[in-house]
Amino acid sequence: MRADGTEKIAVADSAKFCGFGNVRKKKHMPLCGCGCRCRSPGRPGPVTFVIVTDVDRDMMTVALRQARGSLEAGGVPVGAALAADGALLAAGHNERVQQGDPIAHGEISCLRNAGRRPDYLGTTLYTTLSPCEMCSGAILLFRIPRVVVGEARTFAGDLDFLRGKGVEIVLLDDPDCAALMAEFQARYPDVWSEDIGGR
């Protein structure tokens, strides 16, 4: 932690995930360490450094609170928050189960709660889980310049795709975010499979 309250963290540009989004236990395993036997080769990436601020931590706390609320209501525990200039604009969580809405992922619900905006310049989207293809599309459509991700252990998404489109990605690898999703995946595997298109 720095004197100004910021924290410099190292993040790998390409995490080691198997073909099903599970985290590998070791680099370059002939079979991935998660047990799915996908034989997908890992690829190491360079390490970069990003600055995490007190605002980032506070907003991720908001997103995590949203995720926990969704799980308590019987839904998928993915929460999100949208902020600009250190101020919270909106928050939301996955509501697919609660609303019977197949596209109500956490990020989409958050953006819906934010309402109409002329643009998203200067905003940061916080999400407890790495965004899926649909939510990544919304990020690109609205040109959200920065995304802070709680974790990508339980679902990899495609953070390199967003980076390649010019989005600044900060991956916190937050253990609380990962533990919440892992609990949900263990308790409700069928609902999780439905949430990500029957994978």
Q: pLDDT (tens digit, 0 to 9) for every residue of the chain, 199 residues total?
A: 556 566 666 554 444 444 444 444 443 333 344 444 444 444 444 555 678 999 999 999 999 999 999 999 999 999 999 999 999 999 999 999 999 999 999 999 999 999 999 999 999 999 999 999 999 999 999 999 999 999 999 999 999 999 999 999 999 999 999 999 999 999 999 999 888 887 6
Catalytic residue among 7, 72, 95, 107: 107
pTM of the model: 0.78
Q: How many Cβ atoms sit within 10 Å of the Cβ of residue 163?
A: 15
**Contacting residues for 74 by C-beta, under 8 A, at least 6 apart:** 97, 98
Active site residue 107: yes
Tell me how far apart the alpha carbons of residues 11 and 9 are, in angstroms, rounded to a whole number: 6
What are the residues whose beta carbons fall under 8 Å from the beta carbon of 9, sequence distance 6 or more? 49, 50, 52, 172
